[in-house]
Amino acid sequence: MSLDFFSGFATGLALIVAIGSQNAYVLRQGILRQHVLPLVLFCGLSDALLILAGIGGAGLLVRDNPLLMTLTRYGGALFLLTYGVLAARRAWQGEPMQVSKNGGATLTAALAACFAFTFLNPHVYLDTVVLLGALANQRPDPGRWIFGAGAVSASLCWFAALGFGARFLAPLFATARAWQVLDALIALTMWVLATLLLQG
């Protein structure tokens, strides 16, 4: 493997591994063992699409389009606030969750939520399309595409580890209290992220 690949992998991992709405959602679904593979693939492939678009030159369009950034900022903030309220309500009610592959949200609903967490977040465009695209394009061909392959690989590895590794936390969530704590933390995360979005 070339230095460009490992540089892309490390940079992509540094940007992706953070406490965010998308990661929190994948973690929760992973603990519940609900639609983990489709969600992992969706997140990884979405990042791949955005990263490759950035390398292909879309970063300039995103950076110079304030309307797109404004729409995603306010739409994303509204979605995060709403999801935070739902998580807070679950935490307040304290209902134990059944950790199983069956039941819960439908696949369509889970993917729709993941779509919103991904594409209504303006930071995802700045991180993947603009920043990673700019870093990749500092390299001549084929180095920029090898850098992009490294960043895409980091995304796929991270979401696979997060989604499928979460099942090992399942024994910790056998009680309603544990779910209350998790949902309270998720609600707080969503509200903080929404506030940061609204602050620009």
- Residue 57: left (phi > 0), alpha (psi -120 to 50), or beta? left
104 Cβ contact list (under 8 Å, min separation 6): 32, 34, 98
Instruction: Identify the CA nearest to 44 among candidates 133, 128, 159, 131.
Output: 159
pLDDT at position 131 is 81
Domain positions in the chain:
21-198
Sole residue written with tokens 């490390």: 10
What is the pLDDT of the chain when averaged over all its residues?
Answer: 84
Classify the C-alpha dihedral 26-176-187-79 as positive or negative: positive
CA separation for the pair 29, 47 (Å, rounded): 19
- pLDDT over 70 percentage in the chain: 90
For residue 175, pLDDT over 50 is answered with yes
Please give the DSSP secondary-structure letter assigned to residue 138: T
**15-70: pLDDT as tens digits:** 787 667 888 899 989 998 999 999 999 999 999 999 999 888 876 666 667 787 77
**136-158: pLDDT as tens digits:** 888 888 988 999 999 999 999 99
For residue 5, pLDDT over 90 is answered with yes
For residue 133, pLDDT over 80 is answered with yes
pLDDT at position 138 is 82
* Per-residue pLDDT band at 102 (split at 50, 70, 90): very low
* Cis-peptide, bond into residue 142, ω within 30° of zero: yes
